Amino acid sequence: MSASAPISEVFQESFDHLIRGPFTVSSRGLLNDEQATRIVQELLARVESPTPGVLGGRGQTRILEIPGLGRMFLKRYSHGGLLRKITAGHFLCLGQLRSKVEFEMLELVRSLGVNAPKPLAFVQKGSTIYSTWLLMEELQGARSIVEIGEDEGDALPRALDGLSEQIRILIKHNIFHVDLHPGNVLVDDNRAVYIVDFDKACRFKGSRQALRELYLRRWRRAVIKHQLSPLLSEMMSLTLRSNDE
């Protein structure tokens, strides 16, 4: 490392030296030993390429191809804000593994009928200080709802209707996504609408009406922040408030 390296690189290299031990791949039996080994090899080689079209988010989602399973989404967890520059994707073990928590949340929401990526495995390297990843099935031909609106404006109402159905299920079961924005809504080749990035999703203790308004406010803020079409906000409000319980 050169003497002129940015201070963030100095910190990150220091954390890299602190992470000891092998990779641990947990898959609840969904992957065999050979596939788990290949995942570790890919992580060591750092050959993943970024997935385009995602607005914001703390996780870095990349594509990984595993023999016998095909192309997968691989998400590495990282901090937000200033901590991202200092510690990158390194965490101090103070609670549950973030990848494990999201793995379990994806299992839960899928069991309720929400379209979300199928979780396949979560990976950890280190113990007291660690890095972690989540492996999920790829959504074939997935594009964000923003791209759908830009490329196929006539398909946007249907996509928003599909999204509203998914959000209503979350509201019914008092689940708050926390970071629902247009970049976290994907439409696959079959026009199915998926919600992604359930990191830090949690149970909501207020009323369903209050939760619905939280979703709408978060969505509206994202539309304004990313200077997207106001139609995304207006149509979402109309569809989510229709058939109000």
Which residues are annotated as catalytic?
179
The answer to whether the beta carbons of residues 212 and 171 sit under 8 Å apart is yes
Residue 233 one-letter amino acid:
S
Q: Of 203, 204, 199, 194, nearest to 101 (Cα)?
A: 199
3-state secondary structure of 202: strand
Judge residue 36's burial from the number of C-beta atoms within 10 Å of its C-beta, 0-12 exposed, 13-18 middle, 19 or more buried: buried
Q: Of 85, 206, 194, 209, nearest to 145 (Cα)?
A: 194
Phi, psi of 129 (to 5 degrees): -115, 130
Question: Measured between alpha carbons, how far is 223 from 236 in angstroms, rounded to an integer?
Answer: 11
